Structure 1
Amino acid sequence: MRIVLASSSPSRRMILANAGVDPVIQPADVDEDALLASLQDASPADAVAALARAKAHAVAGQFHGDVVIGGDSMLLLDGRLQGKPHTEEATVERWREQAGKVAQLLTGHCIVHRGEEFVETTSTTVHFAAASEADIRAYAASGEPWQCAGAFTLEALGGWFIDRIEGDPSSVIGLSLPTVRRALYRFGLDASAFWRS
């Protein structure tokens, strides 16, 4: 039995690797924009969970008996959900908007095993630093935050500009280990069963 990560996220892979797990990487092919457009009336937490669910189920049929993890993160800032900025210019604009503010990083999880699913969204409060314009531009130019929810990383260059968080650090990086553990226990499995020997 293996853990399958329905994501190409290097951060999610790193969390599992640092926790002793070598996951199978099988990125899900999901039209996130279309799914979000169909969820306009959903709460932010439910929208993020729906993305995670779509990813997990897009992959689960290929891995009978394994544990499949789908995840998605978005930043809730001033009542609006924000995903990945994708470009240097968009990253600069995002950081001008969020610098010095407090926001919620929502990470949806869907863990599937033998037809059962465990769905949970974690919320972590992020206190953004009042970063200087030069630092915002340098960070955006680095390319690091382009593929990151909320246009930041906690574990790399972006750590310079996060004053503090309240909640689960692994969830902010992209995958909550406590959430995955709760799912495994619900399925009657132990986390240690997946550690590399």
Structure 2
Amino acid sequence: MTIWRGKSPLILASQSRARKMLLADAGLPFETVAADIDERAIQQASKVSAPGEIAGLLAREKARFVSERKGEHYVIGADQTLALGERLFNKPDGRAAAAEQIRALAGQTHELHSAIAVALDGRIVFETVAIARVSMRPLSGSDIRTYLDEAGDAVTSSVGAYQLEGLGVHLFDRIDGDHFTILGLPLLPLLAFLRREKLIGF
């Protein structure tokens, strides 16, 4: 017995382990198809600069790109930006960049803007952006080195050089926002949309 009422499984236009875990744990059938788009080029061409707008733009483009090739499926695009004031962060390209990001975030509160967009037949039918505010505790140089040693290569796989669902949780002393937003997939509004579309059985 499945709660899914759609004719075809969802498609997640992302290879994110956390996003796949959230959909699977919610009992939703899905396939993953990578959205082969140049995110930085799209962002630069758009002239969009606000963190939430950037996340929304890229979520839409990912969903639309895959949906144009998989028209019979509902396609979920997702993106997340990290902003400390007006400074936007990208994934660090190595240990030194990861250390620099953590030093900048330590003792500060930053925002995670998580966007999702759903496309069908190449058309966006739903989108939303959610915000979480997370406060990193003050960290010494020794603290940062210990964290980087323990976390290893994982620090380069996400913006801010941490995964809150893993060792990164040790870096924080306050979180304002839901778990799903922090992991990059605002799940509750997505589920509400799927229920409105009669794609979920209850």
| TM more than 0.5 | yes
Asked if residue 148 in structure 1 is aligned to residue 164 in structure 2, the reply is: no
Asked if residue 167 in structure 1 is aligned to residue 174 in structure 2, the reply is: no
- Normalising to structure 1: TM-score of the pair? 0.89
Q: 2:43 aligns with which of 22, 36, 42?
A: 36
Moved more, 158-167 or 138-147: 138-147
SS in structure 1 of the partner of residue 46 of structure 2:
coil
Percent identical residues: 32
Q: Output one character per residue of 1:53-98: Cα deviation in whole Å (capped at 9) or x when no partner.
A: 1111111122223221111111110212212113211110000000
**Match of residue 60 from structure 1:** 67
- How far off its partner does 1:113 sit? 2.9
Q: Distance in 1 between matches of 2:97 and 2:42?
A: 22
Q: 1:134 to 1:18 in 2, by over 3 A?
A: farther
**Match of residue 139 from structure 1:** 147
8 Å contact kept, 2:115–2:186: no
Asked if residue 189 in structure 1 is aligned to residue 189 in structure 2, the reply is: no
Asked if residue 94 in structure 1 is aligned to residue 94 in structure 2, the reply is: no
Q: Distance in 2 between matches of 1:36 and 1:131?
A: 32
8 Å contact kept, 2:111–2:134: yes
- How far off its partner does 1:162 sit? 1.9
Q: 1:157 to 1:186 in 2, by over 3 A?
A: same
- How far off its partner does 1:177 sit? 0.8
Q: 1:117 to 1:140 in 2, by over 3 A?
A: farther
Q: Distance in 2 between matches of 1:164 and 1:86?
A: 27
Structure 2: unaligned runs, 5 residues or longer: 1-7
Let me know the Cα RMSD of the aligned residues. 1.8
- How far off its partner does 1:166 sit? 1.0
Q: Distance in 1 between matches of 2:29 and 2:169?
A: 25
Structure index of larger Rg = 2
Q: 1:157 aligns with which of 153, 167, 172?
A: 167
Q: Distance in 1 between matches of 2:128 and 2:23?
A: 18
Q: Distance in 2 between matches of 1:163 and 1:25?
A: 34
**Amino acid across the alignment from 2:118:** I
Aligned pair count reads 192
**Amino acid across the alignment from 1:21:** L
- Normalising to structure 2: TM-score of the pair? 0.87
SS in structure 2 of the partner of residue 27 of structure 1:
coil
8 Å contact kept, 2:60–2:124: no
- How far off its partner does 1:33 sit? 1.2
- How far off its partner does 1:46 sit? 1.0
- How far off its partner does 1:179 sit? 2.3
**Match of residue 118 from structure 1:** 126
**Amino acid across the alignment from 1:163:** D
Q: Distance in 2 between matches of 1:34 and 1:61?
A: 20
Moved more, 76-85 or 180-189: 180-189
